């Protein structure tokens, strides 16, 4: 039915009375049709102009209310007919499109310098001293040559005049858990060896990034320094002995050989077995105690001082910053400005500011040069597409120097800024879950970024480019979604990735954009100079590093301590593991596929005797005590060693998590392991 709506259930009373089954005066009837001839004519004209389909839709909309309502008992017709549409009304889509398009005509955002006459002084001085283009190029070459010469001289004086091994702040002599192999064979020698080393500045802030077990305790997000207390238990009570897995540079500061946060050179002497490692506080550093024997230790000794050993990174920083300020003030050319800063900051960060891991100076030169070329290609694209647009025709020399250059150095010195102030080591779910304060810090960062994005989007809309940016970031979102969908791989957002994603949003000339762009370029330079082009997609193993695996743990069934023997038995192996590793005092003492092992307990006197031999004192007792007295006082101590025992599964060369430590005390009692991994 199209013209009428008929109710077949109309009441008999209505029919007998002859009344129409519609109560409204304008309701349709055979005597009074809905459309008279004039209406039909007008409707036909409209349909001819706009299309018959739209005409039918309007007619049905016009009378939908009439054909839905009845005048009797209000019952609705089962022939209910109305028109609905799921499409968004055009007025809304048009309004959104109009907003995205921005004002008409678009506004071109430009920075109006504060005190323009004052900020133009450097350019006027340059024009007066070097009026031609060739003379300006010559002036720039002189400035760049002075920086290069100063940079090479200071770096050579600081790094290349000596032959020490260059250490990082977290370097140690020992590897975690079973990393050194059975009985520590992969980390020998334990004693009678020494070497000189160089430490960088600011090693007081070195910290662990994953849980680390020492005996029956776990540490994380703090420094790792075991021992160093006085008097030490052994034949050298006035010497600070550190367990071999302590941070070497931190030990050099703790021992007083190096100044806190100053860096420098020292000598490490390996001293082998020690009976225990008492804790102490020195130079503002608190060490931790280990009250059981360990096979490898070291002491720190000062050098003779005939050759100076000073970390001159802040001198290099000052020279490079001065060059950047001069270039920024005296040039308005975006290309000259960008490449002068990019090249100088990259080499400063790569060589001295936050250098990658290396052992010798020439290794560092090779690593930095290798990373510079591909980074320079990416920087060329950024300069052409983004930076040049922001800095073009900008004559605010002082503002550019403070905002862009200052922010760039803030990002380039990430190891002294964000790394120290923000408690997020890596942007992964694992790190966010275990690092204190990481989730709150991430929430604050997200809120700040959203606020910045809204402000930047408003400015971009003023220039009429919102549609292009929405299309670009939509494409980026699709790419990220596809990478997230790849099985068995994880997306890793590095410094340089974050910079590449956000830099396009700074392609407008506003003061906030100068700050954001400089900061992101600094993070871009720091990330690639320090870590290189690390993969965006990584396997779980690469992403985890030395973190806990969450693997199954061996089930200890029985521990029997009888005299000098400790017998441990465990349940049968579970697939896919093929053997069991047993750590005693954090050193692997057994690896095999049996269901148990018997370990030998030694006395403290035997440990002391081994320590005596490791120290080299066996052939030089005149500096100590009479050999007979040493033998009687130290070597015959009958007390049994304390043993911290942990078990873990092994498959081939892959080692799973270990149990927490169970303890065999000196008196032979056994304290069972707590649940959980280590």
The phi, psi pair for 418, rounded to 5°, reads -60, -40
pLDDT confidence of 379, banded at 50, 70, 90? very high
Q: What pLDDT, on a 0 to 100 scale, did the predictor assign at position 308?
A: 67
How confident is the model at residue 328, as a pLDDT?
Answer: 96
Cβ contacts of 614 within 8 Å, gap of 6 or more: 190, 191, 192, 271, 272, 273
CA distance 455 to 289: 53
Reported as a single tens digit per residue, the pLDDT across 127-143 is 999 999 999 999 999 99
- How far is residue 590's CA from residue 576's CA, in Å, rounded to a whole number? 19
Q: If pLDDT is split at 50, 70 and 90, which confidence band does 535 have?
A: confident
C-alpha radius of gyration, the chain, whole number? 39
**Rounded distance, CA 555 to CA 245, Å?**
28
DSSP state letters, 201-228: S-GGG---SS-EEETTEEE-SS---BB-
Is the per-residue pLDDT at 59 higher than 80? no
- Cα 408 to chain centroid, rounded: 19
Helix axes 334-348, 313-330, angle to 10 degrees: 180
Instruction: Report the pLDDT value the prediction gives residue 653, as an integer from 0 to 100.
Output: 85
- Residue-wise pLDDT for 68-92, tens only, equals 444 444 444 444 444 445 567 887 8
3-state secondary structure of 312: coil
Question: Per-residue pLDDT averaged across 360-387, rounded?
Answer: 94
Closest CA to 616 of 191, 306, 216: 191
Task: Report which of 287, 169, 284, 290 is spatially closest to residue 225, judged by C-alpha positions.
Answer: 287
Token duo for residue 520: 């992101």
E-assigned strand segments in 96-164: none
pLDDT of residue 305: 67
For residue 351, give the nearest of 464, 200, 196, 161 by alpha carbon: 200
Structure-block tokens of residue 225: 């320094």
Rounded to 5 degrees, φ, ψ at 20 are -75, 145
Q: What pLDDT sits at residue 401? A: 97
CA distance 458 to 658: 54
- Which residues contact residue 461 at a Cβ distance below 8 angstroms, ignoring those fewer than 6 apart? 99, 100, 102
Query: CA 644, 649, 652, 654 torsion: positive or negative?
Result: negative
* 349 pLDDT more than 90: yes
Nearest CA-CA partner of 664 in 552, 555, 563: 563
What integer pLDDT is reported at residue 306 of this predicted model? Answer: 58
DSSP 355: P
Q: From 223, 191, 215, 248, select the one nearest 587 (Cα to Cα).
A: 215
* pLDDT 10s digits, 471-492: 999 999 999 999 999 998 888 8
The pLDDT value given to residue 621? 52
State the pLDDT at residue 324.
97
pLDDT at 273 over 50: yes
Which of 663, 658, 673, 568 minimizes the C-alpha distance to 176?
A: 658
Region 329-348: mean pLDDT is 96
Element spanning 409, H or E: helix 406-412
User: Looking at residue 500, what is its pLDDT?
Assistant: 94
Q: Per the structure block, which two tokens stand in for 49?
A: 């102009």
- Tell me the C-alpha distance between 649 and 148, whole Å: 55
Ranges of beta strands (E only) in 320-420 are none
Question: Do the strands 212-214 and 217-219 form a parallel or antiparallel pair, or are they unpaired?
Answer: antiparallel
Only one residue has tokens 């809309």, namely 461
How many angstroms separate the CA atoms of 437 and 448, rounded?
17
* Beta strands at 297-301 and 242-243: parallel, antiparallel or unpaired: antiparallel
Ranges assigned E (strand) in 340-454? none
pTM: 0.79
Domains of the chain as residue ranges with CATH? 12-86 (no CATH), 121-150+324-542 (no CATH), 165-301 (2.170.130.20), 556-602+640-671 (2.60.40.10)
Q: What is the pLDDT of residue 432?
A: 80
339, 525 Cβ separation under 8 angstroms: no
- pLDDT tens per residue across span 619-671: 555 444 455 445 556 677 788 889 999 999 999 888 999 999 999 999 999 99
Q: Residue range 258-267: average pLDDT?
A: 88
DSSP class of 387: I
Cis, peptide link before residue 156, omega less than 30° from 0: no
Q: Assess contact for 347 and 144: CB atoms under 8 A.
A: no
Question: By the 8 A CB rule, do 225 and 672 touch?
Answer: no
Q: Name the nearest CA neighbour of 488 among 431, 429, 542, 532.
A: 542
**For the residues 112-122, what does the mean pLDDT come to?**
94
What six digits make up the tokens of 307? 């050759």
């Amino acid at each position: 039915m199209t013209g009428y709506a008929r109710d077949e259930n109309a009441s008999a009373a209505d029919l007998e009375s002859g009344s129409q089954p519609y109560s409204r005066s304008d309701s349709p009837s055979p005597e009074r049709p809905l459309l008279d001839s004039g209406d039909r004519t007008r409707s036909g004209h409209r349909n001819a102009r706009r299309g018959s389909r739209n005409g039918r839709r309007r007619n049905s909309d016009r009378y939908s209310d009439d054909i839905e309502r009845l005048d009797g008992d209000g019952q609705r017709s089962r022939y209910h007919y109305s028109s609905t549409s799921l499409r968004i009304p055009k007025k809304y889509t048009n309004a959104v499109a109009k907003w995205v398009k921005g004002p008409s005509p678009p506004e071109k955002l430009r920075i109006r310098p504060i005190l323009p006459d004052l900020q133009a002084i450097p350019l006027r001085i340059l024009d007066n001293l070097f009026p031609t283009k060739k003379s300006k190029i010559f002036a720039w070459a002189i400035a760049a040559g002075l920086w290069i010469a100063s940079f090479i001289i200071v770096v050579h004086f600081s790094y290349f005049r000596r032959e020490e091994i260059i250490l990082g702040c977290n370097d140690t002599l020992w590897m975690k858990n079973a990393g050194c192999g059975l009985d520590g064979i992969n980390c020998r020698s334990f004693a009678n060896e020494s070497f000189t080393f160089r430490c960088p500045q600011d090693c007081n802030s070195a910290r662990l990034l994953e849980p680390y077990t020492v005996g029956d305790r776990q540490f994380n997000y703090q420094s790792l320094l075991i021992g160093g207390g006085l008097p030490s238990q052994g034949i050298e009570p006035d010497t600070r002995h550190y367990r071999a897995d302590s941070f070497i540079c931190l030990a050099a500061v703790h021992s007083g050989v190096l100044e806190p946060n100053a860096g420098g050179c020292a000598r490490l002497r390996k001293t082998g077995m020690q009976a225990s490692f008492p804790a102490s506080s020195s130079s503002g550093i608190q060490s931790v105690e280990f009250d059981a024997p360990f096979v490898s230790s070291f002491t720190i000794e000062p050098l003779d001082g005939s050759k100076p050993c000073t970390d001159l990174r802040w001198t290099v920083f000052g020279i490079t910053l001065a060059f950047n300020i001069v270039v920024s003030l005296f040039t308005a050319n975006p290309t000259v400005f960008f490449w002068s800063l990019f090249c100088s900051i990259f080499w400063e960060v790569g060589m001295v500011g936050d250098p990658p891991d290396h052992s010798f100076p020439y290794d560092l030169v090779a690593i930095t040069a290798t990373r510079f070329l591909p980074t320079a290609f990416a920087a060329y694209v950024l300069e052409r597409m983004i930076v040049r647009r922001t800095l073009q025709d900008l004559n605010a020399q002082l503002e550019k120097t403070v905002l862009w250059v200052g922010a760039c150095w803030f990002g380039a010195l990430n190891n002294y800024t964000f790394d120290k102030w923000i408690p997020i080591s890596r942007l992964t779910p694992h790190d966010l879950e275990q690092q204190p304060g990481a989730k709150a810090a991430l929430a604050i960062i997200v809120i700040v970024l959203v606020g910045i994005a809204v402000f930047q989007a408003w400015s971009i809309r003023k220039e009429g480019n919102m549609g292009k940016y929405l299309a670009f970031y939509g494409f980026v979102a699709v790419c990220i979604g596809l990478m997230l969908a790849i099985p068995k791989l994880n997306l890793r957002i590095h410094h340089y990735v974050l910079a590449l994603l956000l830099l396009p949003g700074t392609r407008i000339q506003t003061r906030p954009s100068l700050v954001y762009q400089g900061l992101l370029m600094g993070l871009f330079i720091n990330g690639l100079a320090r870590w290189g082009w690390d993969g965006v997609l990584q396997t779980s193993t690469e992403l985890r590093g030395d973190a806990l695996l969450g693997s199954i743990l061996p089930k200890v069934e029985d521990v029997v301590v009888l005299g000098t023997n400790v017998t441990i038995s465990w349940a049968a192996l579970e697939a896919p593991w093929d053997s069991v590793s047993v750590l005693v005092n954090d050193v692997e003492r057994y690896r095999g596929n049996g269901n148990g092992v018997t370990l030998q307990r030694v006395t403290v006197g035997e440990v002391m005797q081994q320590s005596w031999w490791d120290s080299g004192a066996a052939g030089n007792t005149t500096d100590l005590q009479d050999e007979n007295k040493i033998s009687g006082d130290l070597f015959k101590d009958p007390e049994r060693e304390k043993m911290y025992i942990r078990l873990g599964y092994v498959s081939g060369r892959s080692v799973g998590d270990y149990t927490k430590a169970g303890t065999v005390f000196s008196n032979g009692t056994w304290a069972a392991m707590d649940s959980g991994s280590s």
